[in-house]
A and B are shown apart, each in its own frame.
Chain A
Amino acid sequence: MLMVMFRQVVKPIVALFSQVKIGLTLCIVLFSSPLWAELTIEISESYDNAIPIAIVPFGFEAAVSPSVSEKNSPPLSQVQAQVPLDLAQVISADLRRSGQFKPLLPSAMPNHPHDLEQVVFRQWRPLDIDNMLIGKVVDQGNGFYQVNMRFMDVLRKKQVLGKRWNQVPKENLRQIAHQISDLIYEELTGIRGAFNTQIAYVTMRKKGKKRHYTLEVADSDGFNAQAILKSTQPIMSPSWSPDGKKLAYVSFENGRSEVFIQSLDGVYREKVAGFKGINGAPAWSPDGKKLAVTLSKDGSADIYIMDVQTKKLKRLTRKWSIETEAIWAPNGQSLFFNSDRRGQPQVFQVFLDTLEVRRVTFEGKYNANPEISPDGRYLAMVHGQGGFNIGLLDLYTNEFDVLTDTFLDESPSFAPNGEMILYAMNRNGKGQLAVVAIDGNTSQILKVKNGEVREPSWGPFLTQ
């Protein structure tokens, strides 16, 4: 019970003591470092009535260079003729992952048009599809590409979306593909897509007796994983700055919990809280100017607000009990946090103007690690009732639902469009990540080879 109640706070400390004698290894990974452990995604559940859609493989036009006409240069043009990235595949995977779409296999398509005039709608009607995406990538030379896309309404026989990107470097083509997914998703659902976003998480691999912790950032589909920080000591609680350029996290690299802020490119890194006792659970304010942290420097763990610029602290709670895991309401005027002041962890809300505190959760005996949806409507949390699952409280209606049926769930994190929740869970004794739709209708699992993955955090929308 003690473990259960205090696990969010005590666990790091336990970890600290168990690892204190092992020599510290720390490596800050710069942006240019090679791809790290790739997450693989497995869709476990999807909507019954996912909608068929055709994402036609993109056409490719090689660069027309003067050398093409020369007879002695076919090998070069052959190399250039290679499609650098199958955008259609990335987009199909995105849409499939949402659980709401059922992309047609390219082999089931009558043909692969990539221009408007090549589309014969009546050929597509029997396939029971409403929409199709066609496009092409044009090699503009020097590793830059032009991407064209057209989103067609097969039933009404017209184009509903069309966009062109110019001078896209090869490594950004994936991002373009996610952007196209976002456009399609928004067109069909009315909700902004969150495919072109990133997630942060911590992997742990055992090498002999040593544990290797890595803080990683990847695209929302698990690709493009990049290590931000490597350590033989635990790394915890990554938190995205609202601009998506920095992460605040807890590192035990110095034998105790300390809060750091680091830019994704690794250029900037700063320890912002290294007080005696616990320094944990950082959370950015919506304007990015403040950081809520849990500190026990004045006795028991309490919530403090730190000015990121000046590092000045303001104590928000004053209790003998443990107050931790603060998050900001989207309007920045209040914070939700976890407190065991009533004997068991429950979620409370504190208003910054009056410091008035009210209890928010009443369902069950254990509600911790709160996370609020971007629109401020839903509060996700770790809900303990027999096991630990992700619970969702509708703050408008006060309806409470348990969304997951996985094991030892923790660290819920909303997608920036509020449609999905990324969380950590345990399967076969291994930590893995999972995504669940807020209506519980679809879920997927993200895992790494030969290791465990924990502490996920879904990043904000990337400005396009």
Chain B
Amino acid sequence: MVGFIVKHPVAVFLSVLLHVILIVLLVFKWSDTETTVKVAIQGEEKPVPAQAGEIKQIEPLQTFAVDATMVQEKLQKIKAQEEARKLEQQMLEAKTAQERQRLRALQKRQKMEQEKAEKARKLAAQQRAKTEAERRKTELERQKTEEAKRLAKLEKQKAESERIKAKEAKQAAALAEQERLKALEKAKKAEQIRLEEEKRKLALEKENAKKAKENEALKRAQEKARAAAILQRQLDEEAAAQRVAKKRKQMLSLRETYISAISAKVRDNWRTPARISPKAQCDLRITQTPKGNVTSVKILNCNEFATKQFKEAAEKAVYRSEPIPAPPVKELFERVITFEFKP
């Protein structure tokens, strides 16, 4: 049975679902009988069409009132009619009373019938529920057993697979062990080789290190020597540059002194009877011999205040300054010297 279920789970499920639906439909049908009863109760209220007939009777009266022209006649007629109607009414009233009585009786009977039906129905329902419950109970039990069967089968399958698995694992473990052992062996071998290699390497390294050390020491010594040499050279160079710069600076300052000495001497020798603007200014280019004798004087770049008398007096001042002051050091001598002159 369980095997069947396991084999056809969809079919089983569909059959179960069908059963459930059937059960539900059965229950629904039962409750549907109830609504049917309710509908019957509504259908019992049928006096409404009788009321409608009563209203229809009034309508011809209204029509009559419109047609009457001969009042008297009509009044009579109406009176008679009224009377007739009164009579009719009375009869009608009696009829309605009778009817009412009849209706009441009918109602009573109906009620009783209803109660009776109710009772019967309830009973039937109880009966039906009972049977249904029983049926369901059996079904459930069947299902239970089926389920148990299925479970047992499942258990069996599980155990089987586990057994296979365990077997497989065992085999694998054995294999792995074998493998491990193999690897271990290999590793051992490798380790040995490695150790040997290492040993060899170490020795080599040691030797190398030793060599390197020696080399390093040598190199360092060489480096040191070279650095020292470079430093020395740099120092020498720097010193030389400094010496040159110092000398240059010295020379420049000496040259400045030289030029200003010349300019001062020319200024000292400046004299003129002419009225000269204090703003007058020219450049003087003196060409001299090494002994300081003036060979020529050129007056250049004069401003607007420099008159002919100023220029001539400046030129004369240069000649009067002979010998032109000698430079403080020989190499500073310049044959042509130009400087700005203002008195």
**Chain A residues near B (Cβ < 8 Å):** 49-51, 98, 100-101, 130, 153, 155-156, 185, 188-191
Contact of B274 with A by CB under 8 A: yes
| Bound CA–CA A189/B274 (angstroms) | 4
Please tell me which stretch of B101-109, B191-199, B244-252, B314-322 contacts chain A, meaning at least 4 of its Cβ atoms lie within 8 angstroms of it.
Answer: B314-322
In-complex Cβ contact of B274 among A49, A155, A188 (8 A): A188
In-complex Cβ contact of A190 among B308, B315, B319 (8 A): B308
Contact A189 B316 (CB under 8 A): no
Contact A51 B319 (CB under 8 A): no
How many chain B residues touch A (CB < 8 A): the figure is 12
Select from chain A the residue with minimum beta-carbon distance to B276. A190
Select from chain A the residue with minimum beta-carbon distance to B309. A190
**Chain B residues near A (Cβ < 8 Å):** 271-275, 307-309, 315-316, 319-320
Contact B271 A156 (CB under 8 A): no
Contact B273 A101 (CB under 8 A): yes
With most chain B CB atoms within 10 A of its CB, the pick from A50, A98, A188 is A188
Contact B320 A155 (CB under 8 A): yes
Contact A188 B273 (CB under 8 A): yes
Which residues of the partner chain B approach A155 to less than 8 Å between Cβ atoms?
315-316, 319-320
- Extra pairs beyond A101-B273, A191-B275 (14, CB < 8 Å): A49-B271, A51-B272, A130-B271, A130-B316, A130-B320, A155-B315, A155-B319, A156-B319, A188-B272, A188-B309, A189-B272, A189-B309, A190-B309, A191-B274
A188-B309, A189-B309, A190-B308 known; A156+B273 contact, CB < 8 A: no
Contact B320 A190 (CB under 8 A): no
In-complex Cβ contact of A189 among B271, B275, B315, B320 (8 A): B275
- Minimum CB–CB distance from B273 to chain A (whole Å) comes to 4
Contact B271 A51 (CB under 8 A): yes
- Minimum CB–CB distance from B259 to chain A (whole Å) comes to 21
Select from chain B the residue with minimum beta-carbon distance to A185. B273
What are 21 A-to-B residue pairs whose CB atoms are below 8 Å?
Answer: A49-B271, A50-B273, A51-B271, A51-B272, A51-B273, A98-B273, A101-B273, A153-B316, A155-B319, A155-B320, A156-B316, A156-B319, A185-B273, A188-B272, A188-B274, A188-B309, A189-B273, A190-B274, A190-B307, A190-B309, A191-B275
Which residues of the partner chain A approach B273 to less than 8 Å between Cβ atoms?
50-51, 98, 100-101, 185, 188-189
- Minimum CB–CB distance from B286 to chain A (whole Å) comes to 13
| Bound CA–CA A189/B310 (angstroms) | 9
Which residues of the partner chain B approach A49 to less than 8 Å between Cβ atoms?
271
Which residues of the partner chain A approach B272 to less than 8 Å between Cβ atoms?
51, 188-189
| Bound CA–CA A100/B315 (angstroms) | 19
Which residues of the partner chain B approach A51 to less than 8 Å between Cβ atoms?
271-273
Select from chain A the residue with minimum beta-carbon distance to B294. A155
| Bound CA–CA A190/B305 (angstroms) | 13
The 5 closest A-B pairs by CB, nearest first: A155-B319, A100-B273, A190-B309, A189-B274, A189-B273
Which residues of the partner chain A approach B320 to less than 8 Å between Cβ atoms?
130, 155
Which residues of the partner chain B approach A98 to less than 8 Å between Cβ atoms?
273
Which residues of the partner chain B approach A101 to less than 8 Å between Cβ atoms?
273
Which residues of the partner chain B approach A50 to less than 8 Å between Cβ atoms?
273
Select from chain B the residue with minimum beta-carbon distance to A52. B271
- Minimum CB–CB distance from A186 to chain B (whole Å) comes to 10
Contact B274 A156 (CB under 8 A): no
- Minimum CB–CB distance from A101 to chain B (whole Å) comes to 6
Which residues of the partner chain A approach B271 to less than 8 Å between Cβ atoms?
49, 51, 130
Which residues of the partner chain A approach B275 to less than 8 Å between Cβ atoms?
189-191
| Bound CA–CA A185/B272 (angstroms) | 11
